[in-house]
């Protein structure tokens, strides 16, 4: 019988050997289970987790490769042809889109150029018709007529000479815009231009080449000589900024209509 925790037990040969120490073993087991994990245990746990992750990845890669490993050669060739065809179609679509983009840009540029040209033509027509104000280089002609002898034909001849010299806009006495349909009449010794009475001195503002327009006034037999012959005088001033601010009211045509061609 054991004598206590430190008693010995006989073996088969009759010799005695130390008995196990259950209390110390229980304490060791308890410390291993309930105690803090050591550094070596943490390293082992990390290695085991990494090994498990690698195994999972390997299994998935193996399964993925198996999708094509078991495929026949003809199937793989067909698959490659299909992928090549899809790539070719995608490239063709890219080319078509690029071509469409170029066409749209070209169309937009042509449209912009056409609009710019139409705006330019409209501006020219508006200036020539007197429906908008005009400004530019030109001359200012001042006609003195102390005796009231300047007649409508004299003034009309001078305006026509300015037109022939390239005047793009003409205005009389800062009041009347002269256009192609402007009428100049003598009425009881008073000049009437498009229904507006004008009194001397008569001031003509003309926009165009200053030198050319000035020459059209003073050349022999021109406006200056005609005015001088009836007792008047003319003064010509060239300027880089001449304004024709008065506007001409355009009446709608009563009989004529634009053609369709």
Render pLDDT for 68-96 as a digit per residue (tens, 0 to 9): 555 566 666 676 767 777 777 777 878 78
Coil/strand/helix, residue 200: coil
Reference 248, options 178, 196, 174; nearest CA is 178
Residue 45 parent element (H or E) = helix 39-69
Which range is least confidently modeled, 2-11, 94-103, 245-254? 2-11
Q: Which two tokens stand for residue 31?
A: 């410390």
Domain boundaries, the chain: 134-244
Average pLDDT, the chain: 78
Residue 257: pLDDT band with limits 50, 70, 90: confident
Res 153 pLDDT > 90: yes
Q: Which long-range contacts (CB under 8 A, 24 or more apart) does 78-86 make?
A: none
Q: Rounded to an integer, what distance in angstroms lies between the CA atom of residue 112 and that of residue 3?
A: 117
Reference 146, options 223, 196, 199; nearest CA is 199
Question: Residue 21: its pLDDT value, please?
Answer: 54
Q: Which two tokens stand for residue 147?
A: 């005796």
Phi then psi dihedrals of residue 58, to 5 deg? -60, -40
Tell me the pairing of strands 169-172 and 134-144. Answer: unpaired
Residue 166: pLDDT band with limits 50, 70, 90: very high
Question: Residue 49: its pLDDT value, please?
Answer: 61
Which range is least confidently modeled, 38-47, 158-167, 173-182, 199-208? 38-47
Tell me the pairing of strands 233-244 and 134-144. Answer: antiparallel
Render pLDDT for 221-246 as a digit per residue (tens, 0 to 9): 999 999 999 999 999 999 999 999 99
Higher pLDDT, 43 or 66: 43
Fold of 134-244: Alpha-Beta Plaits (3.30.70)
Q: Rounded to an integer, what distance in angstroms lies between the CA atom of residue 204 and that of residue 192?
A: 15
Q: Which two tokens stand for residue 249?
A: 């009211």
Render pLDDT for 91-103 as a digit per residue (tens, 0 to 9): 787 878 888 777 7
Write the CB contacts of 128 (distance below 8 Å, at least 6 apart in sequence).
168, 169, 179, 180
18: β partners: 8
Contact 142, 258 (CB under 8 A): no
Residue 89 has what DSSP assignment? H
Res 133 pLDDT > 90: yes
Residue 195 has what DSSP assignment? T
Reference 244, options 174, 162, 165; nearest CA is 174
Question: Residue 62: its pLDDT value, please?
Answer: 52
Measured distance between the N- and C-terminal CA atoms of the chain, rounded to whole angstroms: 137
Residue 191: pLDDT band with limits 50, 70, 90: very high
Residue 1: pLDDT band with limits 50, 70, 90: very low
Residue 128: pLDDT band with limits 50, 70, 90: confident
Helices 210-218 and 152-164: angle between axes, nearest 10 degrees: 140
Q: Rounded to an integer, what distance in angstroms lies between the CA atom of residue 167 and that of residue 7?
A: 141
């Amino acid at each position: 019988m054991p004598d206590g925790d430190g008693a010995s037990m006989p073996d088969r040969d009759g010799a005695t050997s130390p008995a196990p120490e259950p209390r110390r073993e229980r304490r060791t087991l308890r410390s291993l289970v309930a105690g803090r994990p050591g550094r070596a245990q943490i390293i082992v746990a990390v290695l085991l987790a990494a090994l498990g992750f690698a195994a999972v990845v390997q299994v998935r890669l193996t399964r993925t490769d198996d999708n094509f490993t078991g495929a026949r050669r003809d199937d793989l060739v067909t698959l490659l042809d299909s992928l090549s065809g899809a790539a070719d179609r995608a490239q063709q679509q890219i080319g078509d889109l690029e071509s469409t983009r170029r066409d749209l840009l070209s169309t937009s540029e042509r449209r912009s150029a056409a609009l710019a040209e139409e705006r330019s033509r409209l501006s020219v027509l508006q200036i020539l018709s007197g429906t908008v104000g005009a400004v530019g280089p030109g001359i200012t002609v001042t006609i003195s007529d102390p005796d009231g002898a300047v007649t409508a034909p004299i003034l009309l001849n001078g305006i026509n000479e300015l037109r022939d010299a390239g005047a793009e806009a003409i205005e009389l006495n800062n009041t009347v815009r002269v256009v192609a349909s402007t009428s100049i009449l003598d009425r009881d010794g008073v000049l009437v231009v498009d229904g507006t009475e004008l009194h001397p001195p008569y001031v003509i503002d003309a926009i165009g080449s200053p030198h050319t327009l000035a020459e059209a006034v003073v050349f022999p037999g021109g406006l200056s000589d005609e005015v001088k012959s009836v007792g008047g005088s003319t003064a010509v001033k060239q300027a880089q900024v001449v304004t024709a601010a008065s506007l001409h009211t355009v009446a709608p045509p009563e009989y004529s209509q634009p053609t369709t061609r």
